[in-house]
Amino acid sequence: MAVIGKDIKEAIEILKSGEVIGMPTETVYGLAGNAYNTEAITKIFTVKNRPTFDPLIVHTSSIERVHEFVSEIPEKAQLLAKHFMPGPLTLLLPKKDVISDLVTSGLETVAVRIPNHPLALQLLENLDFPLAAPSANPFGYISPTSAQHVDNQLGDKIKYILDGGECTVGIESSIIGFFDDEIVVLRKGGLAIEEIEAIVGKVRIEEHSSSNPKAPGMLKSHYAPRTRLLFTDDSLLIDENISKIAYLGFDKFHTSIPQENQLLLSPGGDLSEAAKHLFAYMRLLDARGFDKIYTDLLPEKGLGRAINDRIKRATTQE
Ligand code: TXA
Ligand code: MG
């Protein structure tokens, strides 16, 4: 198992030696390594068991420092950066040569993010290189929102996990690209579309697909727990051994399932709270050995859109 601690100096030493660590952010925990070091990047892909066609997000501590590895920031991107960085937003920007093709899977753009987490920012400020960091889960599984989640899944492969507590946002950053002057949301995430549009006007939302060359990592079946996750269909429940059925709900219990088998993402109906709980609650139910977990979509607004995206992908069995 990895050491879980709050020692920034230790984290810096390990990163400087070309190794990878677990890192907190406000969205989900990352598996971080020196973005300028090919060996460290290779380790990230190996530890995560991630295909190299799926590019990584590069994290830094300020907009000024983005210029170290990005050649140009379009005006609309600057506007978004001014409002939402640090924050749960990732911008796709043209890369400089210091970023290797391994980081971007050969794409000309690099994904850039400034996490809004005090410990992550302190770490990044004290490094003279940015950190490439995908979510710290094995490829295809649920993203981690606590240091313990990281340890459970990757603890035997990494030395150290910097403990920044539970993630306050709970779902991954929103990813935005700029193509021929059009603003495109490639992944719905912790920053609501409504907030983005309030600053830059209408955006296009690209629904994910495994064959979308602009977002190679947006595979349909993702974020999946081991237990089958299905949408509620009362007819399906009739013949089931109901004591082996769980329900992950938004704000109301399911009337045909025992209450002790149920978790509500936000009894008060708050979408931010639901986002914060989503992955942790999926894990809790997944660990209890149910035959199936039933769920339903949330209201399709605000963070509900990103939550629904994750739920849909977790229920996809392909
Ligand atoms: O909130 C987050 O974004 C977390 C924390 C750790 O920062 N990171 C994260 O990374 O979710 P990851 O690797 O799990 O997801 C990154 C996504 C992938 O789907 C990848 O395909 C996409 O970003 N991506 C990265 N670089 C890209 C690029 N240049 N063009 C298009 N998509 C890109
Ligand atoms: Mg991920």
∠ Cα 103 47 53 (to 5°): 35
The alpha carbon of 18 and the centre of ligand 1 are apart by a number of angstroms equal to: 21
Query: How many other β-carbons are positioned within 10 Å of the β-carbon of residue 233?
Result: 9
- CA dihedral over 21, 22, 24, 28, signed as positive or negative: positive
Mutation probe of ligand 1 site: the residue of 135, 149, 174, 223 with most atoms within 8 A of C-beta: 135
| The pLDDT of residue 222 | 57
Residue 34 buriedness (CB in 10 A; 0-12 / 13-18 / 19+): buried
The alpha carbon of 215 and the centre of ligand 1 are apart by a number of angstroms equal to: 9
| The pLDDT of residue 317 | 60
| The pLDDT of residue 218 | 53
Residue nearest to atom 24 of ligand 1 (CA): 55
Ligand with an atom nearest the CA of residue 26: 1
Distance of CA 313 to the CA centre of its chain: 13
| The pLDDT of residue 233 | 77
Query: Which strands form 89-94's sheet, in the order they lie side by side?
Result: 3-5, 160-162, 21-23, 30-34, 131-132, 57-59, 109-113, 89-94, 174-179, 182-187, 204-205
Query: How many angstroms separate the CA atoms of 110 and 116, rounded?
Result: 19
Residue ranges of the chain with per-residue pLDDT less than 70: 208-223, 234-236, 316-318
Distances 308 to 106, 111, 268 between C-alpha atoms, Å: 30, 23, 18
Residue nearest to atom 13 of ligand 1 (CA): 134
| The pLDDT of residue 303 | 98
| The pLDDT of residue 171 | 97
The alpha carbon of 302 and the centre of ligand 1 are apart by a number of angstroms equal to: 20
| The pLDDT of residue 212 | 45
Report pTM.
0.94
Phi-psi region at 191: left, alpha or beta (left = phi > 0; alpha = psi -120 to 50): beta
The alpha carbon of 107 and the centre of ligand 1 are apart by a number of angstroms equal to: 13
| The pLDDT of residue 213 | 45
| The pLDDT of residue 217 | 47
Of all atoms in ligand 1, which is nearest to the CA of residue 109?
29
Q: Please, which residues have CB less than 5 A from ligand 2, an ion?
A: 135
Answer for the pair 177, 184: CB distance below 8 angstroms, yes or no. Answer: yes
Secondary structure E strands in 19-75:
21-23, 30-34, 57-59
| The pLDDT of residue 104 | 97
- Unique residue bearing structure tokens 């060996």: 39
Answer for the pair 50, 134: CB distance below 8 angstroms, yes or no. Answer: yes
Residues paired with 89 in a beta bridge: 174
| The pLDDT of residue 226 | 84
| The pLDDT of residue 182 | 93
Pocket of ligand 1 (CB under 6 A): 25, 27-28, 30, 54-57, 90, 92, 104, 107, 109-111, 113, 115, 133-135, 172-173, 175, 186, 214-218
